[in-house]
Each structure stands twice: as structure tokens, then as C-alpha cells.
Amino acid sequence: MRRRKTDLFILFGFLMLIIAGTIFVFTSSWYLAYVNNRPTYYFLLKHVLKVAIAIFVFLVGYSLPLEYLRRFRYPLMAISLLLLLAVLILPDPIAPRIGGAKRWLNLGFMNFQISELFKLSAILLLSFNAKHLRNTGKFLVNMAIVFLGIALIAMEPNLSTAILISLLVLSIAFYAGASMAVLSTIGTIAAMGATIAVLVFPHAKARIVSESIHYQVKQSLIGLAHGGLLGVGLGKGVEKFLYLPDAHTDFIFSIIGEEMGFVGAVIVLLIVMAIILRGFHIAKKLHRRDLALSTLAFAISMNLALYSLGHVSVVVGLFPPTGIPMPFISYGGSNLLVNSFLLGILLQLSREA
Amino acid sequence: MRERVIFSLFALVYAIFIAVLFKMQVLEGKKYEAMAMDNRYVTFPINPIRGNIYDRNGKLLATSGFRGKLLVINDRDRDEKEYIASLIGRYTTDLSPASYYTLSAREDVLESHVVVREFIRHYPFGEKTPHIIGYVDAQGRGRAGLESILDSILVGKAGTLMVPVDARMRITDRDFIMIPPSKGMDVRTTLDMDLHTFIDSITSRFEKVAVVVMNLDGEVLDIYSRPSFDPNLFVTGFTTAQWRYVNDATLKPLMNRAISGRYPPGSTFKILTSLASIDAGIPWWRSIYCRGIFYLGRWAFRDWDVHHRVGSLMEALETSCDVYYYELAARMGTVKLLEELRKSHLFDERFTPFPEEVRSFIPDTSWYRKRYGFYSTGNAVNLSIGQGEILMTPISIAMMTGAVARGGRMPYPRFYEGQVISDTLTMEYPDSAFDIVRRAMYLVVNGERGTAKYIRWRLEMDGFGDVRVAGKTGSAENPHSHKTHSLFTAYFPYEHPEFVVTVVAESAGHGSEAAVPIALEIIEWLLRHYF
């Protein structure tokens, strides 16, 4: 029997990122908690609770037989689509409206973002259907299911997530070997859809053309520049003093850049990048043996790549400010839980490879 | 194949992002740094600490005290303003000492205000502070006197307090960044504050007095002007009554009478007329018979007394015989007299660095012509005894006295250590003229008929019998009062002159009535303290 080796790098990378995340959630959020008359560790405690759950979920992902996942892919997709529909329809106490958008389901201890669950189901669905994707008919059926969900996400509205999941889905299909002609057609339609959606949803248009958002980006850039090469020191940054809104979520990377400097920011990026490259490596190794598992490893890595690059794009001002969390680091539960579960699966796959 | 495309694309994008971060954080970091600092701190200037001003013996004339102040970080914080008002009675940013201690004890709970100590000018002598010290305004900049002319070296450098705040102007960190203010340079003046308080005590029965005391090197020991004001009020603020007082049109407490007050010099001017006549070649030994009146054509000029026989110019100065000087002026004529008087150079320049000093005034023929349409010998006759249009400041009378004592040259007055004086008053009269006038001034005090022989008498009584004083009295008629201004200017000791004392008491009577006794007290004080 072949000796199965767990990829320790993924394990330690995961731990390093969630520890760094915990630290930076605290330094970027204590003042916000303080001025809202909460104890300074208010956000830290909530985050630590979610990190505990995330580690549990990570272990579940690591140990759950892949066969269960394969069998469960259709019910999961069905549940996701139903819940996506539900958050649009259900009243506020169950599906709260936050900042004008209905994206969450109230679980009591946290608000869960259904689009993350949908992302998980989309990855599982497309990965385990990978070998069917070369068949144009079956490919189109899969795409129809997935893009139905994406359309629902766009209606929440949550355009940035819809765009990121679209990119993820298209790259999975590309990796699995879908026909280039069909793929590019769908890609073009999706791009046109996205453009129309941006023009239709007033808040999205405002994000792109408005002046006020420039304040947020400017503060983020000032923070990065303030950090310089080596940073101003942990906890010594000033952006968190309400200059940079959403410092602990959408702009946490800016806080890292300010307090730890270019060096700290690049170290975080390199850890993420290393995990992604390990994932690609696993995907490549599994490619010959099992296309489904290979595609799964690829999809998980690609998910991390798109989200981390998306987050950094916003922080450096290449993309309009929108809620793209930094995987494993940003405050916020749903993304952390789903990513941890996916990374657990990737760790399991590393043993298969 | 496909995985390679995606993997390399991914690696490329990652590399680009790291490059972008490098550019923003390291290469362009400085560009955003200033923006960042503007954002994060509210900065307040902190008053510099002004240099002290001392008298010649090291007594503090001007120093720095402090007062509490509230710096407002967020003006819209109504709750905190109410809280502050509840603690100290009413909301104000200038704090009384009690309010300062009340608030600084609660400093840590204030979110929109910072309690600081601010240095402010303090004049320990209050109302007795000499006028030439001047005062500073509420912003701490010198506005008059030495405070004004030495402002640049006294002022020091303002500091900066940087209070870190969040985007909603709340203080984020109690460790403020402080660039401390630096202290200006101290100035040591030539003034003697003991002398000043002494003069203040002996002049208290007069309303308006100016005194100049200087040594013959030009060092000013005191410049005294009454009435005075409290310069502290310019820093702490006036009440309505105080404001009305300092702006009183007749009292003019802000005016330094010794350098800004112009008075007809009266008989003290005969010193200059004497010098002028000797220089013009009129024999000083000529004697006249004074009947107490002098006729020039249809006009009669009265003397203040009937002097009978006046044996010489010296006797004329001793007895202050007007008729003798009327005759001198009539012989010289207006043009010649004015020409000779100008050789004194007393009317050309100002003697002190203070902008508030005014020049003494002597008319010339064109001025007469413009004013009256003509001039005549009558003008000269009037001028010869220091009446008419001539106006002199007490400092210029003192300079005249000093120049006579020193044989024609007197350095400009010096007020503080390190003051660069390059100018010397030079009177263009022959040495013999000064010898004669000095002798005459000696007789004014020591002669049988001298108008200031009270001084001789008192010095002998008080045990200073060996000290000889030379001087000249003056009683100047003036439009402000039926009583004359009382003037006396003197130098002493006669043999080796060291000090000049000039006293002007407004509307106080004859020279011998008010100014002479004051000068005597000052001379005795100087004898007790400087000999």
C-alpha cells in the first residue's frame, strides 16, 4: 500500500493565517468597539468563537469521506438554491437586511452568508461532474444550474460575489476541459450580464463612479504608505481610528500593510500563495488518476486565489471598494467557515496525491 | 496544458500585485506620509516663553507666568461643554487658576478638550513698571517700549502640540506629541528699579511728571513718567473703568512723557541761548540793568522779576534774568539766533530707539512765514527764554544738559546691555562757551542769587556739603493751565560730572517749587547709592 502523506505546509499555513487574522482583527477593531461603547475585545471574542468553529469544520473537511461529498453534491446544490431564494423572500428577523442587501440567514450566534454555501456546492458539483463537462450538453445543464444561483446572488444584491463565483466557475470548467468555444460564449454572456447588472443596480454604479468611495480608497493607500517598508509596528497604526471604514473586514490587508509594512503584507501574501501553489501541485498530481479530485483541488486553490487577489485589488485601489474578504484573515464568519472546510478537503486530497 | 496556462497566469498576477504593493508602500510612501499626518493630528501652537527683562541689579521687571487654557478639539461636543460649564461655572477657554486645577484633575475624561498651561507675560511691579518696558498684546507680541523693539530676541519660538485624533475628532491617545516652545533671550536693562520706586514715592503729590536720570556715558538709570498704567492688563484684559482710564485724553497714562511729552522748555532753554550767543560773538561779560521789562518797538516783554544789576551772562543765567536774554535775542535777530540754536543738533534726531519718541521742535523762518505770514525779532525774543513755539522732550533737555557737562558731546542714551550706540550728540559750540555755561549753571545752585540754591542749602544740611551740583530751573508758561510747568535739569558732581537729572512737573508752578525739590531728592538718593 502506498504511504499517504499529509501536506503539512497547508496545515501550518492555515494555522498561521488564522492566527494572523485573529491578531489583526483585534488591532483593527478595538477602537471601533470602543467608540461604540463595547469592550475593546468585543470583535475579537466573536472572531475567536468563529475561529474555533472554523478549526472544527477544517477537521471535518479533512476527515469526511470524499464519497459522501460526491453523493451529497446535488442535494447540497438544491438546498443552496432554495436558501438563496429564501433569503430574498424571508422577512427580516430570519433573513436580515444589512446595508440594503439581503444576503444572510440569521443562525442565532452569527449571520450566515448563503452565497458562501452556494460557492461550496458549486465547487463540489462542478468538480465531481468534471468528466461530463467535455460534453457540451451536460456542460450546459451544469452551467444553467450554477448561473441560476449566481443570478440569485446578483439579485441580493451582491455583485462582487456573483462576479467572483462566475470567474471561479468558468475557470473550473476551463480546467476540466470544457470546449473553448462554448466556454468563451458563456464567458461573454456572463460579462455582458455583469455589465448590465452594474448599470441596473444603482449602488453598484455608484461604487464605480462615486467620489465618496475615493475617501475609503485614499485612506487605504495612506495606510499602506504610512506603513512603508517595515510598518509602524503592531497596534501602532492609525487608520483604524475610524479613518478607514470596514478596517477589520474589507480593508484588513491595508491595516496589515500599515502596521507590518511591505514586508509583513508580502509575507501574508506569500503564505496564501504557497497554499495555493500546493493546491495546484496536488491538482496536477491527481490529474491523471482522478479528474474529479484534481478539479476539486484546483477549484479550492482557485477560490483562495480569486478571493485573496480580489481583496488586495480593492485595498490597493484596482477594484472598486466592495465586500471581498481576505481568506482566513478578515473578520466575518461564513467565508472563514467555508474556506476552512474547503481547505480541510484540500488537506485530505494531499494525502490522496 | 490548460493547467499550465492557469498556473502561470496566477503566478504572474501575484507577482504584479507584489510589485504594486512595493511601489505604493516603499517607492511612493513619502508622498502619502504628509497626507497621513494632516489627517491624524490636530495641532495647536504653544506660546513661546518670552525672555525676562531685568533691571541693572537683576530685579525682574518682566517675566512669564502661566494661565490655564482649554484647547478645543471638537467644537460640536455640546455634552462636554455642558460638563465643563458644570465644573467651572461657565464654559470658557481661558481658565482661572481654580478652574485650571479643577479641569486638569479631570483631564482624562475630557474627549473634545485638552487642558494646557500657557505662558503669559507677567510684570511683577504692575503699575510701577517703567513705561519704557512697554507691554505685550494678548497674543504675546511686544507692542510698546522695549517689549516692542526687542520683540524678535525676547519672543522665543512657539512650540507645537499635536493631539492624535480619530476621524470624528476624538482623542485616540493621551501621549500627545509636544514640540516644546523655546525661551527667548533675557534682557538686562540699565534701569535701576529701586530708583524708579523712589521717584514714584516722591512724586506722588503731582499728577503728571516726567523724570530722566542718566549717567554721562548715556546709560539711563531711570525714565519715569506719571501717571502710569499696569501693563499686565494688556495680557489679562481690562475692565471698562480701566480701559477708560488708560485712554483718558488728558491723563494719557500710556504716554511715556519723558520721551513723548513735548513741553516748552522755559528758562532751561537759556542754557542753549547762552551757548548760541557766545558762539555768535556777543560778549558774555556785558552787564545790563534789568528793570523787569523789555521794550521792542511797541511791544513790552516782561521779566518774571526785577533783577536790577546783572553783571554778565553768568549772572543772567544764575538769576534767570529774562531781560538779559531778550536783549541778546534782539541783538542777534531771528535768523542768526535760529541758525546758532540749530548748531546744538538737539532738534535733528530722536535719541532713543523707541518709535513712540517724538522729536523736539524748533521753528525756522519758513515755518514762521507759513504760520504767521512774517517773522520778526519778537519771535527771537520769545524764543530766547524757551517760550513761544519751541517744544522739547525731557530726554532732549537731559541730552542738552549732558552735552554741556561733557563739553559738547553726549552719547545717545542706552537702555539695555548690548545695545549698540554709534551716535553721539555733538554741539558745535566753542569749548569756552561750555566753560562759561557750566560756571553759570554752577551758580544757579551755588550762587548768592541762584534760583536753585535750595539744593545747596539742603545738601549742606543733609551732610553732602562737599557735593557741587550745576543746573538750571525753568517755569514754562503753557496753554493747559494758569500754573507754569515746573522744570529743573542738573548734572553733578560739578567737578567731575557723572549724572544728569531732568525733572518736568506739569502745571506744578515755578521750577524752584516742584522740580527742584524732586531733583534734590533724586540727587541725594544717587549720592547715597552710587558714591
Backbone φ and ψ of B453, nearest 5°: -70, -10
A346 lies within 8 A of chain B by CB: no
pLDDT on residue A2: 52
Q: Do A221 and B167 touch (CB under 8 A)?
A: no
Helix (H, G, I), strand (E, B) or coil at B115: strand
- Residue of B17, B24, B170 lying closest to A225 (CB–CB): B24
Chain B: residue nearest A315 by CA? B21
CA distance, residue B163 to nearest chain A CA (Å):
13
Helix (H, G, I), strand (E, B) or coil at B203: coil
Residue predicted with more confidence, A71 or B138: A71
Residues sharing a CB contact under 8 Å with residue B28, sequence separation 6 or more, in sequence order = A225
Chain A: residue nearest B111 by CA? A35
Helix (H, G, I), strand (E, B) or coil at B56: coil
Tell which of A212, A216, A241 to mutate to test the B interface (max B CBs under 10 Å): A241
**Would you say residue A1 has pLDDT above 50?**
no
Cβ-Cβ contacts under 8 Å, B172 against chain A: 31, 238, 241
Listing DSSP states for A96-115 in one string gives --BTTB--EEE-SSSEEEHH
Scanning the structure block, which residue is given the C-alpha cell 519715569? B224
Predicted ipTM of the assembly: 0.88
DSSP letter at B51? Answer: P
Chain A: residue nearest B24 by CA? A225
- Cα B380 to chain centroid distance, Å, stands at 33
**A153-174 residue pLDDT tens:** 988 888 889 999 999 999 999 9
- Residue of B13, B25, B30 lying closest to A309 (CB–CB): B13
Give chain B's contact residues with A (Cβ, < 8 Å): 2-3, 6-7, 10, 13-14, 17-18, 20-22, 24-26, 28-33, 35-36, 39-40, 164-168, 170, 172
A273 lies within 8 A of chain B by CB: yes
For residues B220 and B399, the answer to whether their CB atoms sit within 8 Å is no
For residues B407 and B434, the answer to whether their CB atoms sit within 8 Å is yes
Q: How many CB pairs under 8 A join A and B?
A: 103
- Cis link prior to B493 (omega < 30° from 0)? yes
A316 lies within 8 A of chain B by CB: yes
Q: Do A175 and B35 touch (CB under 8 A)?
A: no
**A335-350 residue pLDDT tens:** 999 999 999 999 999 9
Scanning the structure block, which residue is given the C-alpha cell 544789576? B309
Q: Do B25 and A262 touch (CB under 8 A)?
A: yes
Residue predicted with more confidence, A333 or B212: B212
DSSP letter at B113? Answer: E
Work out the pLDDT band at A91, boundaries 50, 70, 90: confident
Q: Which amino acid is at B155?
A: V
Scanning the structure block, which residue is given the C-alpha cell 483541488? A297
Q: Give the gyration radius of chain A's Cα atoms.
A: 20
Q: Do B18 and A266 touch (CB under 8 A)?
A: yes
Please state, in angstroms and rounded to a whole number, the distance separating the CA atoms of residues B490 and B474. 11
pLDDT along chain B (531 residues), means of 10: 81 90 83 68 86 94 88 86 88 86 85 86 93 89 91 88 82 81 92 95 94 94 94 90 91 94 94 95 92 90 90 93 94 93 92 92 92 89 91 96 94 91 90 94 94 93 93 90 92 95 92 91 95 86
Most confident range (mean pLDDT) of A110-119, A228-237, B9-18, B207-216 is: B207-216
Scanning the structure block, which residue is given the C-alpha cell 461550496? A120
Question: Of B464, B465, B462, B454, which is closest to residue B519 (Cα–Cα)?
Answer: B454
Backbone φ and ψ of B35, nearest 5°: -60, -40
Tell which of B21, B79, B112 to mutate to test the A interface (max A CBs under 10 Å): B21
Query: In angstroms, how far is the first alpha carbon of chain B from the final one?
Result: 112
Residues sharing a CB contact under 8 Å with residue A185, sequence separation 6 or more, in sequence order = none
The residue extents of the domains of chain A are 8-352
Cβ-Cβ contacts under 8 Å, A269 against chain B: 14, 17-18, 21
Scanning the structure block, which residue is given the C-alpha cell 533737555? B397
For residues B499 and B213, the answer to whether their CB atoms sit within 8 Å is yes
Looking at the DSSP assignment, which residues form a beta bridge with residue A111?
A106
A278 lies within 8 A of chain B by CB: no
For residues A109 and A281, the answer to whether their CB atoms sit within 8 Å is no
Q: Helix crossing, A114-128 with A291-315: angle to 10°?
A: 140
Please state, in angstroms and rounded to a whole number, the distance separating the CA atoms of residues B225 and B502. 12
pLDDT, averaged across chain A: 88
- Residue of A223, A242, A316 lying closest to B167 (CB–CB): A242
Question: Which residues of chain B does CATH 3.40.710.10 include?
Answer: 256-530
Scanning the structure block, which residue is given the C-alpha cell 491527481? A286
Residues sharing a CB contact under 8 Å with residue A220, sequence separation 6 or more, in sequence order = A239, A244, A251, A254, A314, A315, A316, A317
For residues B10 and A306, the answer to whether their CB atoms sit within 8 Å is no
Please state, in angstroms and rounded to a whole number, the distance separating the CA atoms of residues B361 and B188. 32
Residue predicted with more confidence, A208 or A214: A214
Chain B: residue nearest A308 by CA? B14
Please state, in angstroms and rounded to a whole number, the distance separating the CA atoms of residues A157 and A164. 14
Distance (Å) of CA B438 to CA A172, B158, B238, B401, B466: 118, 53, 49, 9, 18
Chain A: residue nearest B168 by CA? A242
CA distance, residue B4 to nearest chain A CA (Å):
9
Question: Of B482, B480, B491, which is closest to residue B510 (Cα–Cα)?
Answer: B482
Please state, in angstroms and rounded to a whole number, the distance separating the CA atoms of residues A186 and A146. 12
CATH class entry, domain B256-530: alpha beta
Residues sharing a CB contact under 8 Å with residue B387, sequence separation 6 or more, in sequence order = B264, B266, B476, B477
- Residue of A35, A238, A312 lying closest to B170 (CB–CB): A35
- Residue of A171, A229, A238 lying closest to B164 (CB–CB): A238
Listing DSSP states for B170-192 in one string gives -B--SS-EEE--BB---EEBS--
pLDDT on residue A32: 87
pLDDT on residue B472: 95
pLDDT on residue A227: 86
pLDDT on residue A224: 87
Cβ-Cβ contacts under 8 Å, A238 against chain B: 36, 39-40, 164, 172
Chain A: residue nearest B5 by CA? A175
Helices (H), chain A: 8-35, 42-63, 66-71, 73-89, 114-128, 136-155, 159-176, 180-200, 202-209, 212-227, 252-289, 291-315, 333-352
Q: Do A175 and B3 touch (CB under 8 A)?
A: yes
pLDDT on residue A209: 59
Looking at the DSSP assignment, which residues form a beta bridge with residue A113?
A104
Pairing label, strands B187-188, B53-54: parallel
Q: Do A265 and B166 touch (CB under 8 A)?
A: no
For residues A314 and A326, the answer to whether their CB atoms sit within 8 Å is no
Q: Do B6 and A266 touch (CB under 8 A)?
A: no
Chain B: residue nearest A268 by CA? B18
Scanning the structure block, which residue is given the C-alpha cell 569756552? B432
